[in-house]
Structure 1
Amino acid sequence: MRYFLPLTLLILCGSVSADDAGSFVFLDDGDNTGVLYTYASTEIQDYFAKMFTTKLVTEVPEGTAPDVVIRLGTPDSNTAIADAVAAGQLVLPEGALSDQGYTLKNLENQLFIAAPAPQGVLYGTYAFLEAYGAYFQISGERLPAPLPFTLKTLDLTEKPAVKFRGLLPWDAYICGIAGYNPEDYRQLIDRAARLKLNFLQFHFYPGSAFFTETIDGTTAEPRYLGMPVDIFPTANAVGKAAFGDVIAFGAQCYIDHAGSPAAQAHAVQDMMRDALAHAKNRGMHTAVGMELMQPSVGSPLFTAKPEGSVNCLDPLRPENLALSRQRYLSLKETYPDADFYCFWQSEGQGVRGAAVGQEEGAAAMREAQAHWTSQDNYRGDIDYAWLLKQLCDSMTPEEQATSVAGGWFLQHLFPGIHPDFPAGIRFSSINNYSMEQSLDGGLDYYAVAAENRAVWVTDWWEYSGEQWFPQWRAGGQERIYRQCLDYGIEALSLVGWKLSGIEHNIRFMADFAWHPGLTAEQFYRDYVSRLYGQDSAPLADLYMTADAKSELTPPATSSDDRPMSLGEGWIVLGIPPFPDTAEGLSTEEWRHTAERAAAIAAEQQTFLQSDRDAVALIGQIIPGLDSQGQYWAALLLNRLRMRLHYLESMIALNESYGIYQAAALQGIPAARAATALRLNDAVALAGEAIEIYSKEIRNRNDLGVVAQMNVQYLQPLVQLHASLSD
């Protein structure tokens, strides 16, 4: 097997061309049967028509001869490929994962796109198209200007380094799949397949229309599809023009059945089953998952933890095991064609439920299983693991082979539970979204993959969905991926919501999973060259500079002490209130808020200048790019311009606290009046940020971002401003 960097292939122009009038290329796709094989042939034909002026035919007209023959298929489906392999002229991938591999090679006037199996034929098709100038993205593609087809010298044999490579598009938020229609799922899947990804995961929160479990004949009623809004009225929205004549944005099948939650759930689940079937038709493996410790229906028996702790299913009660078994079977019945079923531990439950419950046997169970984790503040995950172990023990070997233990930073359990869990159970975890924490010992837990445990690693294609984007993560991810691959993980996925402004993160994972020698710097330079064009080299430096700053980017999480700094995008912007009494001004909480707000505003000024420099650089480069380079650079420029206004609005918000503090010396009414002026700037800049973003809509997710920012960013600022005049 020979590994080549995907963007630096040895490609030399040969002498065989098809540029004369009446010349043509013949596609010999052999015994074209089966969904994948047929799709590969269709993709070649469709893209050939877009990329070349030469005609491609699947039947040679009588009395003519093609200038070039493209041989597509496997030895079993194409006799010409079988003959070339038998003659030693063609060597196909061998060994583990060779069924996904392919060989591209030209012999005289023939170009072979050959593979041991249909999946490899499809991936070889995309490798061929990229060798001729196409470049695929999760939110689109760049194609070369059409020219006559010229046969190039290719000699490339590849197979992936990771068995499953894919995406976990997170549910429940309208900037993610909660706003999708069937065509959006199909588009996402098709684009992922062109990146040679073969894995699609879905997670379902309790109460979501995506999964309404049935227990003892009673089906849960869905409470929502997206949070905090699943149907967004566009009438008075900022950025309304982006929605066209759409009155309400959201999943259309959910909107169509408004008023009937059961019908909404049926329609949404039908759509999801269609999406899973489409993924199968693109050669993907699929997984669906539910929250194990938070049932939506039935008669659950919960723990009795001390006040301030989060309770969960009591893992010691046999009734809860029976309930969990029914929930598992309900998930399988809802999505019978999924390949895997995941049992998720809710995010944060290991910490918030770390206290030992007061129920009988809880202390003894915790003590007996203390070896399951070395993380004292995550001991609540032991409750989850104990119930899951019982559930897994109750399964048949066939059921265990499709079952997955999963959760947020759940890998801390893996070394401890590995000896105690059935061998067939897969372990899966989402890394901490801080790469620094992942790299500081957070990956060592995956070493059980080297002990014959199938392990899935999920990182982030964006930083927890926050509005701080574009985002660059390849530098840290290179180290994360390399260490995980060294352990021999089975799957590598990315979780996220938005799809534009972060395409490079997904593309890097897709490339690295095939070429584990790839570095972030190599990737960025090739990415910029392929996407923007030859005159875009300075953008590679911009990408690498931004990547180096990724860990310095101001975070905004529910546990951060800076809720006023930036918004997470999937929750309403957290903003501390202004005190309405003199006593409130003297509290420790208020003094901390005013002090930190000033420091954060200063931090944000630094990032603001950095983004201004980036915007200026892109503005200088764009005129020299070709039309497609300008198209993609316009997207980057738009997102950075949006971020400038977003940062300026947050600076205005943070400065408002200092203004309030200073003006309060003249009394609360004076503080309100003075602060309202600066807050008015924050509101105006927020509206401008959303309007700017809405000018570059590339996919359904982008419309969801406009909706999300209206509800979770602009509206809280408007309400805060209004509160000063109450």
Structure 2
Amino acid sequence: MVENGSPRGAIHLDAAADGFHRFVAAEIQRYIELLTGGLLPIVTEPGAAPAGGVIMVGGPQANDTVGGLAARGALDLGGLTADGAYLLKSIDLDGRGCVVVAGRDDTGTMYAAYELLERLGVVFQLTGDIVPERKATLELPELDVAAAPARKFRGVHVWHAYTWNMGMQDYRRLIDQLAKMKMNVLEFYWGMGAPWVEVFHDGVRGELTTTPESGYLAVGRDSRSWGRSVHTTTGTRSEVRVGRECFPHERLCGEEFQEVGSEDEAFAVAVPFLREIIRYAHRRCVQVWLVFGELPFVSPNLAPQSAKVDHGVAPSESHSYQRYCGVAVPTGDPAALDIWEAALCAVIETYPEADSYGVWAPEHSPDFDDDEATRALRQEATTIREHMPSLGEIHGGGNFTPNTDKDLEFDAMQMHLAAELIGRVKRRHPDARLGVTLLFRGYLMRALDRLLPKDVWIANMEDCGNGGSQMDYYRGIAGRDLIVIPRIVDDGCELHMQMNATMYDRDEIVTGAEAAGAAGIIGQLDKERGGECSTRFLADGCWDAGVDAQSFYTGYLPRLYGTDAAPLVVDAYRLLEAAERDLVWWGRSEIFISYHDFSPCKLRTGVELRDGRPDIDRAELERAIEASWDDSDFWFWRRTAVGDQHGHDRPLRPDALWRRRAGQYRAVVDLLRQARPQVPAGSLAELDYVIFKTESLFNLSQLLSDVHSWARHAK
């Protein structure tokens, strides 16, 4: 194809090729130029090509030459049955070498092109491309590849309140990378009270619960709905403690929202912004699903009186249950359904070009036992409970919530509410594709299956902190699209990369989806950098249901870092996986509890240790510092939820445990530094990023060990 930097072959398109196929051909041309320096011509007649090889782009529906080859039996496309299925086939074309790049549909042809480029050495990741060192000569390998996706829906879930910094350029880049990894869904999520749709009830527009300082995008630290919380932010430069100088503007939001100064302006900017995301995604064969939550939370100014009765749960304002998405309305209050019907219909009517629409049930089912209308729903809950497992069965399966039978009763009421909502909206928009997502409540899937029409999809977000696979809940549900939502990135991961392949194996995310016949895997993505491996694992698993951590790393890392460095790098990544397992795949369960003032969680509640006069019992603090995991409130979450899985850590004091952690990360850094001289130049930046992040974790772990050791000896 290319010799000494000069083109010898060509890319063939049908003379009547549309803009999409011209884009696919241009992508092949662009990357081969990056690989070799040679710019291949794009021709519409094979005979007009130079004397070298030919890359023929398009299936029979888009390329008459390919259609002719298939008609006379020179090319078999009959096995390409699924949407997105593709073929890479080397054939003889009138005495010259040719590779056919074709799909069952346009999407498949694009996937075939990106597969060809990966076989030429390019590696597509979530945050960018790894292009190998340029070689002046390129010969196409012999290819005979036919592939079809194992999962119909493959993608990522993005919550814009966590990624409020993303502008349109960022979304276009993300969508481009999804297409290159053969993923086809971008699930765009927001909480009630965000500026993506105007919600009216009784003539009043729901207020925004997001912060003005962020362009009304970020979840507010002091918002009416959430109250004071470490999970929220103003979304401004002033809150950045390390690296503040890297940000040129006070607002960290995308440039489109920099000048937003009112709620009216927020809606005016947000709606066309999201419409452009949908338009661009469709150009790359990526669906956009618009989903929001959490049912039954509503904007505070829309909340009825029943939501404002003080049940002694939350003291802020007069609302009983507050979340980033507003305040909870009792399940039995008609206002809950009325407001949510208006909201979901508004989404459908505002974005008719979107591919699907959904609602998320609440992470915590509010207990409105004192509400008379809600108590009247108990009979509905009793009927639904007949199709739910018992509390013992749920806990026995490794799911640590719910805590009581009463929790299950309120879960059942939430399912009743979701089903009623879907029924109402379907009557108004019968052609809209709808769905319901559960948060860490797979045990409700079979009950929900009995309540919803079969054309409504059901999804569940899998909790990385559970005690084992939850995929049994998906089995036995027939005739419905089921979606698995594993976590690519969890809430508390800013200090480290999350290497989740081993967790996906434990939770049977890929194999369980195959066994249950689930339609899709859509990973939760709270940030991109550091989630490259986990995203790629899920992307590959959507095409090959046999992927596991071992096969993934031994196949992926040699392509990423080169075969010479592969043995050392594979060992390093295995150690990173083991360290992530020891962190329970939820970094903040250890790191952030320890990092905040180095104090036990229970003792630091309401206490500012830096003010010089903490109101705590010194003897109790000393006991907590000295105590092992079993005895100390320092490890409260681990002990109650996942302690049995990590018996080797339980006898350790915090200083010894962090010393062990430091040793794990030090071993990884040593392996990666040994591998570095053997890594190709194009991959060095990626390797150095992994080294930097791992060294940061080593330094933090060593610091925590030293602090706890010092505290023990200084008492």
TM norm. shorter chain > 0.5:
yes
Give the counterpart letter for 1:45 in structure 2.
Answer: Q
Deviation (angstroms), 1:586? 6.5
Matched, 1:404 2:435: yes
Give the counterpart letter for 1:610 in structure 2.
Answer: Q
Give the counterpart letter for 2:389 in structure 1.
Answer: S
Q: Is the 8 A contact 1:460 1:496 kept in 2?
A: yes
Give the counterpart letter for 1:390 in structure 2.
Answer: E
Tell which deviates more after alignment, 319-328 or 302-311. 302-311
Q: How does 1:124-135 map to 2 (within 5 A)?
A: 124-135=112-123
Deviation (angstroms), 1:458? 0.4
Give the counterpart letter for 1:256 in structure 2.
Answer: E
Q: Is the 8 A contact 2:59 2:109 kept in 1?
A: yes
Partner of 2:672: 618
Give the counterpart letter for 2:272 in structure 1.
Answer: D
Deviation (angstroms), 1:452? 1.0
Q: Is the 8 A contact 2:440 2:461 kept in 1?
A: yes
Deviation (angstroms), 1:385? 1.1
Partner of 2:177: 191
C-alpha separation between the residues in 2 aligned to 1:65 and 1:236? 56
| Structure 1 residues 75 and 240: alpha-carbon distance in aligned structure 2, compared to 1, 3 A threshold | same
Give the counterpart letter for 1:469 in structure 2.
Answer: H
Helix, strand or coil for the counterpart of 2:671?
helix
Matched, 1:353 2:367: yes
Match of 1:470 among 490, 497, 508: 497
Q: How does 1:353-372 map to 2 (within 5 A)?
A: 353=367, 357-359=371-373, 360-372=375-387
Matched, 1:423 2:429: no
Partner of 1:704: none
Q: How does 1:39-188 map to 2 (within 5 A)?
A: 39-59=23-43, 65-92=50-77, 94=79, 96-97=81-82, 99-108=83-92, 109-144=97-132, 145-173=134-162, 177-188=163-174
Tell which deviates more after alignment, 613-622 or 227-236. 227-236
Give the counterpart letter for 1:510 in structure 2.
Answer: A
Match of 1:276 among 269, 275, 278: 278
Match of 2:264 among 262, 265, 269: 262
Q: Is the 8 A contact 2:378 2:413 kept in 1?
A: no
Cα deviation code 1:472-491 (max 9, x no counterpart): 11123143210121111111
Cα deviation code 1:64-119 (max 9, x no counterpart): 7431121100102211110111122212253652x311110111211100112101
| Structure 1 residues 542 and 101: alpha-carbon distance in aligned structure 2, compared to 1, 3 A threshold | same
Q: Is the 8 A contact 2:439 2:460 kept in 1?
A: yes
Helix, strand or coil for the counterpart of 1:460?
coil
Deviation (angstroms), 1:201? 0.2
Query: Any stretches of 5+ residues in structure 1 without a counterpart?
Result: 1-16, 664-726
Q: Is the 8 A contact 2:102 2:109 kept in 1?
A: yes
Helix, strand or coil for the counterpart of 1:166?
strand
Partner of 1:585: 617
Give the counterpart letter for 2:540 in structure 1.
Answer: D
C-alpha separation between the residues in 1 aligned to 2:510 and 2:368? 30
Match of 2:682 among 600, 616, 628: 628
C-alpha separation between the residues in 2 aligned to 1:374 and 1:566? 38
Partner of 1:322: 338
Q: How does 1:224-243 map to 2 (within 5 A)?
A: 224=210, 225-227=217-219, 228-233=232-237, 237-243=241-247
C-alpha separation between the residues in 2 aligned to 1:48 and 1:223? 48
TM-score, structure 2 length as denominator? 0.80
C-alpha separation between the residues in 1 aligned to 2:709 and 2:659? 11
C-alpha separation between the residues in 2 aligned to 1:208 and 1:652? 44
Deviation (angstroms), 1:605? 1.5
| Structure 1 residues 40 and 153: alpha-carbon distance in aligned structure 2, compared to 1, 3 A threshold | same
Partner of 1:480: 509
Matched, 1:455 2:447: no
C-alpha separation between the residues in 1 aligned to 2:524 and 2:145? 31
Helix, strand or coil for the counterpart of 2:593?
coil
| Structure 1 residues 34 and 457: alpha-carbon distance in aligned structure 2, compared to 1, 3 A threshold | farther
C-alpha separation between the residues in 2 aligned to 1:437 and 1:547? 17
Q: Is the 8 A contact 2:10 2:49 kept in 1?
A: no
C-alpha separation between the residues in 1 aligned to 2:240 and 2:432? 51
Helix, strand or coil for the counterpart of 2:451?
coil
| Structure 1 residues 655 and 123: alpha-carbon distance in aligned structure 2, compared to 1, 3 A threshold | same
Deviation (angstroms), 1:150? 1.0
C-alpha separation between the residues in 2 aligned to 1:388 and 1:39? 42
Deviation (angstroms), 1:355? 5.8
Q: Is the 8 A contact 1:163 1:490 kept in 2?
A: yes
Deviation (angstroms), 1:161? 0.4
| Structure 1 residues 18 and 337: alpha-carbon distance in aligned structure 2, compared to 1, 3 A threshold | same
C-alpha separation between the residues in 2 aligned to 1:306 and 1:236? 37
Q: Is the 8 A contact 1:231 1:255 kept in 2?
A: no
| Structure 1 residues 64 and 106: alpha-carbon distance in aligned structure 2, compared to 1, 3 A threshold | closer
Give the counterpart letter for 1:533 in structure 2.
Answer: G
Partner of 1:609: 663
Matched, 1:443 2:471: yes
Partner of 2:594: 565
Partner of 2:358: 342
Deviation (angstroms), 1:238? 2.4
TM-score, structure 1 length as denominator? 0.79
Helix, strand or coil for the counterpart of 1:637?
helix
Partner of 1:501: 530
C-alpha separation between the residues in 2 aligned to 1:555 and 1:575? 24
Helix, strand or coil for the counterpart of 1:630?
helix
Cα deviation code 1:407-438 (max 9, x no counterpart): 3113211112212322221101100122x534
C-alpha separation between the residues in 2 aligned to 1:289 and 1:574? 39
Match of 1:207 among 177, 185, 193: 193
Deviation (angstroms), 1:286? 1.4
Helix, strand or coil for the counterpart of 1:70?
strand
Cα deviation code 1:576-595 (max 9, x no counterpart): 53688898317868854764
- Which structure's relative contact order is higher, taking Cα pairs within 8 Å and 6+ residues apart? 1
C-alpha separation between the residues in 1 aligned to 2:239 and 2:378? 56
| Structure 1 residues 80 and 212: alpha-carbon distance in aligned structure 2, compared to 1, 3 A threshold | same
Helix, strand or coil for the counterpart of 2:564?
helix
Helix, strand or coil for the counterpart of 2:269?
helix
C-alpha separation between the residues in 1 aligned to 2:510 and 2:432? 25
C-alpha separation between the residues in 1 aligned to 2:613 and 2:482? 55
Tell which deviates more after alignment, 580-589 or 219-228. 580-589
| Structure 1 residues 471 and 178: alpha-carbon distance in aligned structure 2, compared to 1, 3 A threshold | same
C-alpha separation between the residues in 2 aligned to 1:432 and 1:193? 27
C-alpha separation between the residues in 1 aligned to 2:59 and 2:485? 33
Helix, strand or coil for the counterpart of 1:472?
coil
C-alpha separation between the residues in 2 aligned to 1:549 and 1:448? 35
Deviation (angstroms), 1:531? 0.8
Matched, 1:386 2:416: yes
Q: How does 1:516-665 map to 2 (within 5 A)?
A: 516-536=545-565, 537-553=567-583, 564-565=593-594, 576=605, 577=607, 584-585=616-617, 591-592=623-624, 595=627, 596=632, 597=634, 599-651=653-705, 654=708, 658=712, 663=715
| Structure 1 residues 88 and 592: alpha-carbon distance in aligned structure 2, compared to 1, 3 A threshold | same
Deviation (angstroms), 1:218? 2.9
Partner of 2:228: none
Deviation (angstroms), 1:512? 1.4
Helix, strand or coil for the counterpart of 2:544?
coil
Partner of 1:713: none
Q: CA RMSD in A?
A: 3.2
Helix, strand or coil for the counterpart of 2:280?
helix
| Structure 1 residues 656 and 48: alpha-carbon distance in aligned structure 2, compared to 1, 3 A threshold | same
Cα deviation code 1:292-311 (max 9, x no counterpart): 21111535464679644965
